[in-house]
Amino acid sequence: MDFGFSAEDQAFREEVTAFAQEALPADWGERAAGINPFEQSTEGEESGDAAWELMRGFQSKLAERGWLALAWPKEHGGAGVSFVRQALFTETMAELRAPVYNQGIDRVGPTIMQFGTAEQQARLLPPIRGGNLFFCQGFSEPGAGSDLAAARTRAVRDGDDYVINGQKIWTSYAHRAERMFLLARSDPSAPKHKGLSYFILAMDTPGISVKPLVDLAGRHHFNEVFFEDVRVPAANRIGEENAGWYAAAASLDFERSGIYRVVGAIRTLHEITALAKQAGADGRRAVADDRIRHRLAELHIEFAAGRLLAYRVASLLDAGEAAGNAASVSKLFGSELQQRLAGMLNLMGLPGQLGAGSARAPLEGRLAYEYLIGVQLTIAAGTSEIQRNIIARRRLGLPRE
């Protein structure tokens, strides 16, 4: 097996790097951890609003070059490149900490291609691939997170509409999104996996209210979303009525297959390694400590393995094979690996606890931030326990009991 890249791939990586470096502020990679494009503050160049506009503008530039939907098939307006090339693009952007997060591109669009009608594809895919629609995900509910099929938000058919009532929670970026992809119960009498439907709805629809949830790092990207007699056109149901579980499962597989879960932190690992080589005058322990050196070596090996796991998912997709099991393996390993990396915070001594904006914060406070948000990594997109269950049952054929 050849683990290298072709000359064309290497040239593409260099082209992407040059483009991003020109399109983003010169010091973006160093201060990106202190910038949250999903906050709604309005003061300063690093405010949420300014960063939001920068992110949307950057993604518009990617769309103009045909890079936002690289791996989408050409018949749906994408570039039709291989999934390995898409993974290479994502890896390069992650190393630069470029703001490319977009659920419409990596989850909603592919789900519509698989389950949507020709009319829905013609209506929804162009604005998604153009970067003109930003999505949030309406899946988790109080009491229906890991057991997503227990969702109770109701969708009742009323003529040409469905009327939605209920609540979603941990909804990332609902306060910024123009659209939501929603899983709701359309047949309460059916078995829980059978009575769900999948919808696309506009977030400015009357009856939707959004309440912020602030995380441990003091950031606002999670939300609670409440629905009170929200009318959604039946034309916005993706797939058959009561068969939404299959569309939702596909969306989750697309989410879990991303290489960013591993490579997004590789740059931080290299920065920690460089910092560890410096003299420890401010309380940091030097790399001469065998325990630190060995732990860093282990992390470099683990990141190399995680990167290959992610590329394995891409290669399976290129071969036309199902990648759900491999995606769960990659997601499980990647999210737990990022938590292990965040555990290197003790290398920084007391200054390591300082956040972005503090003059004495090592690495501009990036590792402190990653330590705080690391708790959620093994919960979002399916908990580690859920991923292990999927691997055990689907891959290894183990019984439920």
CA-CA distance, 242 to 81, in Å (whole number)? 34
CA-CA distance, 376 to 378, in Å (whole number)? 6
Contact 112, 121 (CB under 8 A): yes
Tokens standing for 166? 């209920």
CA-CA distance, 103 to 255, in Å (whole number)? 8
Please enumerate in sequence order all residues whose Cβ is within 8 A of that of 249, keeping only pairs 6 or more positions apart, or say none. none
CA-CA distance, 252 to 328, in Å (whole number)? 10
Residue 232: its H or E element: strand 220-233
Q: How many helices (H) and strands (E) does the chain have?
A: 14, 8
Catalytic residue, candidates 91, 141, 255, 336: 255
- Answer left, alpha or beta for residue 28, where phi above 0 means left and psi between -120 and 50 means alpha: alpha
CA angle 80, 85, 87 (to 5 degrees): 115
Please enumerate in sequence order all residues whose Cβ is within 8 A of that of 255, keeping only pairs 6 or more positions apart, or say none. 103, 106, 107, 381
Supply φ then ψ for residue 372, to 5 degrees.
-70, -40
Clarify whether 255 is annotated catalytic. yes
C-alpha atoms less than 13 angstroms from C-alpha of 198 in its C-beta half-sphere: 25
User: Cα–Cα distances in Å, from 51 out to 39, 136, 172, 283, 290?
Assistant: 9, 18, 17, 34, 41
Collapsing DSSP to helix, strand or coil, 80 comes out as: coil
CA-based nearest residue to 259, from 310, 323, 202: 310
DSSP code string of 31-72: HGGG--TT----SSTTSHHHHHHHHHHHHHHHHHTT-TTTTS
Tokens standing for 383? 């908990």
CA-CA distance, 296 to 276, in Å (whole number)? 9
Give bridge partners of residue 166 from the DSSP assignment.
227
Which residues carry out catalysis?
A: 255
